[in-house]
Structure 1
Amino acid sequence: MNEAVFEQIKAGLAAGEVVPFIGAEALADVTHATKGIKIPATSDELILSLNNGQPMAPRLMYEFPRAAMNVELKRGRSAVNRWLEQTYGDNGWSEAALHRWLAEQKLPYIVDINRDTGLQKLYAGRPHTLIVGVARIAGTAYRYKLYKYDGEKYSAAVDESAIDPAAPILFKPCGTPWPEGNWIASDADFVDYITELMGGFAIPGFLKTRRVGLKYLVAGMRLNRDTQRMLLSDIIFSAAQPSGWALIPGANDKEKRFCARLGLTVIDADLRDLAGLPLAQAA
């Protein structure tokens, strides 16, 4: 049964009608060349990395934004941002097999809620538009930054007139260190960002037009926590109905109900099954 659905999804990807929405499990095989550690990506991994490898109180271990908020309150927002820069600005991370597969598809639009630079590096030979989420900035209601990549370097786009609206899009709502560090991490960041996302101020106008009627392939992420659920709901607004598929191995009832509300069909499979890649080994 899955094979028939996989063929449908692959055809939609090839036609530019299906948009990957990629979460933490895409980084399951990414390790550091010299340290030998896995890149932090899941909520628990992020919290442990932020807290020098030590677990935090159970209420803080519930979700990374909550733990990041606790660190921010104690040591300042700069402490969280500095850790993010040090972690994801490090060039020692290996290439993710799923990133390579996605890049080879030459897709017109990808949403990547991870904070690493893996997909950006694989897109480095291809002109594209980078959209990065920002939060808690003064002087504007807009919660994104636009960058134009010309095949060699990024340049900041003052407004939409500076970018090619038909160019491939990498959308990094939670941030990236390249070309400059911008991050959505703590509860306060997400409250600000999601509020403006719901109001329409976190997505450029050209993308609002371009995304109408698209379908989505949600993969590599669990949908048990409100933060990711709200991100997903608002970013895929104006999708086709049904709106696509969610690849969730062993999805629970909460995830199934949420996906049903969004018009997503849950498939008991991993993105690696679709890509024909071996399962990632735990680091």
Structure 2
Amino acid sequence: MNAILHKDFLFCVSGDEARSTLLDVRAGLEKGAIAPYLGPGLVALAASEASVPASPEAVAAALNTKAPAPSRIRTNMWGVAQYIEQRRHRNTLKAWMAEIFAAEPRPLALHRWLATLSLPLIVDSWYDGAMRAALKESGRQDFISVQGITRAGEVRDIWSRVYRADDTPAGDASVPQADTVLYEPHGSARPAGNFLVADSDYVEVLTEIDIQTPIPDSVKERRGNLGFVFLGCRFHDQMLRTYARQIIKRSKGPYYAVMDGVALSKNERRFLAENGITLIDMPLSDAAAVLAGEDDAPGLAPGVPVKTS
């Protein structure tokens, strides 16, 4: 069914309408008109027991086993990482993050399907590198990874690094020639262990992000003709909302997010409504199956236009 949730006018689809909307999203992905924005929630779908953390809170818990943080910040990944950086040095934090995300990425059928498409842009907001692994497994050489990096220790005006499909560093000049840009705004465990994770990593980024300085030119150029679908994402933290808002800024739309409507926080509901993002209220596992063509439910209705605000 369709629903407008509360007075903030969040447009929501569920049930059969959610499946029909996902078929529209799938068609948009196949045409290269919608970009996937992937989050940590996808990790939990890879196995009954995730091999790497599937949320910022899980990363905080893993870091706490190595250096217990004060109780007031213990569940906050960014705060715990900052605590470790201040007391154990940045290199220790980087080494521990690499250890936490050392397991080989486990691409889902969804990742592998996305890797077959001619998508101008893919955003992967988690550290595990599953989307990059799927692109490499597909044998593609026509993609470029652009990863956000910490400015700690940097003397240049640099916000990201570029990597070819073979993991070698590349210059910015190689990005326009790539068929697909994989943008990893918070970094990734692979190939070089770039992690934006501590509060200090985001001080300059959040100061500049409103004027788009940290967003790579390739993302700004490609998003102009794109909509976005958020998969495995949560927006319960201001930093996550800020990044998502600035990455989709000046893009064409429409926008969708697969999330559990009951679990939405007040801030998440407001974020979706303010940005005209249609909530597709269904389990992420079901949505991933529909998009990857693994859903065998009979009688799916053809897609219909969906209001996005």
Q: How many residues end up aligned between the 2 structures? A: 270
TM-score (norm. length: structure 2):
0.79
Equivalent residue runs for 1:169-248 within 5 Å: 169-241=181-253, 243-248=254-259
- State the alpha-carbon separation in 2 of the partners of residues 163 and 222 from structure 1: 29
Q: Is the 8 A contact 1:88 1:176 kept in 2?
A: no
**Deviation of the 1:180 alpha carbon:** 1.3
Structure 2 residue 59 is the aligned partner of structure 1 residue 46 = yes
**Deviation of the 1:209 alpha carbon:** 1.4
Q: Work out which structure has the larger RCO, using CA pairs closer than 8 Å and 6 or more positions apart in sequence.
A: 2
Q: Is the 8 A contact 1:115 1:175 kept in 2?
A: yes
**Deviation of the 1:194 alpha carbon:** 3.0
Structure 2 residue 170 is the aligned partner of structure 1 residue 154 = no
Gaps of 5+ in 1: 279-283
Q: Is the 8 A contact 2:45 2:285 kept in 1?
A: no
- State the alpha-carbon separation in 2 of the partners of residues 180 and 52 from structure 1: 24
Structure 2 residue 137 is the aligned partner of structure 1 residue 121 = no
Gaps of 5+ in 2: 1-16, 295-309
- Structure 2 residue aligned with 1:249, among 228, 239, 260? 260
Matching residue's letter, 1:114: W
- State the alpha-carbon separation in 2 of the partners of residues 248 and 135 from structure 1: 30
Residue 190 of structure 2 aligns to a residue whose secondary structure is coil
- Structure 1 residue aligned with 2:100, among 76, 81, 87? 87
- State the alpha-carbon separation in 1 of the partners of residues 25 and 226 from structure 2: 12
Decide whether aligned partners of structure 1 residues 85 and 173 sit closer, same or farther in structure 2, where only a CA change above 3 A counts.
same
**Deviation of the 1:98 alpha carbon:** 3.6
Decide whether aligned partners of structure 1 residues 133 and 201 sit closer, same or farther in structure 2, where only a CA change above 3 A counts.
same
**Deviation of the 1:199 alpha carbon:** 3.3
Q: Is the 8 A contact 1:132 1:176 kept in 2?
A: yes
Residue 13 of structure 1 aligns to a residue whose secondary structure is helix
- State the alpha-carbon separation in 1 of the partners of residues 266 and 74 from structure 2: 22
Deviation string for 1:217-257 (max 9, x for gaps)?
A: 0121211111111110111111225x411111122332121
Q: Is the 8 A contact 2:38 2:233 kept in 1?
A: yes
- State the alpha-carbon separation in 2 of the partners of residues 81 and 207 from structure 1: 26
Higher mean alpha-carbon deviation, 245-254 vs 128-137, is at: 245-254
**Deviation of the 1:109 alpha carbon:** 1.8
Q: Is the 8 A contact 1:133 1:193 kept in 2?
A: no
Deviation string for 1:138-190 (max 9, x for gaps)?
A: 333230111222xxx1332222x233434211111111232212110001112
Residue 142 of structure 1 aligns to a residue whose secondary structure is coil
- Structure 2 residue aligned with 1:26, among 35, 38, 42? 42
Find the counterpart in structure 2 of residue 14 from structure 1.
Answer: 30
Q: Is the 8 A contact 2:69 2:83 kept in 1?
A: no
- State the alpha-carbon separation in 2 of the partners of residues 54 and 273 from structure 1: 37
- State the alpha-carbon separation in 1 of the partners of residues 259 and 68 from structure 2: 26
**Deviation of the 1:41 alpha carbon:** 2.5
Which has the greater radius of gyration?
Answer: 2
Matching residue's letter, 2:256: W
Matching residue's letter, 2:144: T
Matching residue's letter, 1:246: A
Higher mean alpha-carbon deviation, 129-138 vs 188-197, is at: 188-197
Q: CA RMSD in A?
A: 2.5
Q: Percent identity?
A: 28
Structure 2 residue 149 is the aligned partner of structure 1 residue 134 = yes
Matching residue's letter, 2:55: T
TM-score (norm. length: structure 1):
0.85
Residue 147 of structure 2 aligns to a residue whose secondary structure is strand
- State the alpha-carbon separation in 1 of the partners of residues 115 and 218 from structure 2: 23
